[in-house]
């Protein structure tokens, strides 16, 4: 690929990125989002967080295989149960980390 083609590609990608970001700023309030889509967008942050956290819990250390003696899995399950019952973020973090530390200390 020549230098001119590469710079053209950089320019096109930059303009495309700028146009996408500008569209959200410029069109905010002008377009109505359907109710169904608006309700579905409420679940995006939780699903993105789950997609980021779950591989780190199930595959510790970036290994590509499932390990049964992984203490992170029971700690995550207990933390998920606490989050579901209490809806308290700090308590969920404290119980989850405390459980993980206890399981690692007991070498389970």
What pLDDT is recorded for position 59?
Answer: 83
What pLDDT is recorded for position 94?
Answer: 97
What pLDDT is recorded for position 1?
Answer: 80
Chain segment 30-49, per-residue pLDDT in tens:
878 889 988 998 999 989 98
What pLDDT is recorded for position 23?
Answer: 86
Closest CA to 78 of 55, 103, 108, 61: 103
Contact assessment for residue 90 and residue 98, using Cβ atoms and an 8 Å cutoff: no
This prediction's pTM: 0.61
Domain boundaries, the chain: 1-31, 40-108
The mean pLDDT value of the chain amounts to 89
Chain segment 9-23, per-residue pLDDT in tens:
999 999 999 999 998
């Amino acid at each position: 690929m020549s230098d001119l083609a590469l710079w053209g590609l950089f320019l096109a990608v930059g303009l495309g990125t700028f146009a996408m970001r500008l569209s959200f700023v410029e069109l905010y309030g002008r377009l109505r989002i359907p109710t169904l889509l608006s309700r579905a967008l409420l679940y995006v942050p939780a699903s993105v967080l789950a997609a980021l956290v779950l591989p780190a819990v199930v595959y510790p250390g970036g290994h590509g295989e499932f390990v049964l003696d992984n203490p992170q899995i029971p700690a995550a399950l207990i933390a998920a149960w606490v989050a579901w019952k209490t809806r308290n973020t700090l308590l969920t973090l404290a119980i989850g980390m405390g459980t993980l530390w206890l399981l690692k200390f007991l070498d389970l």
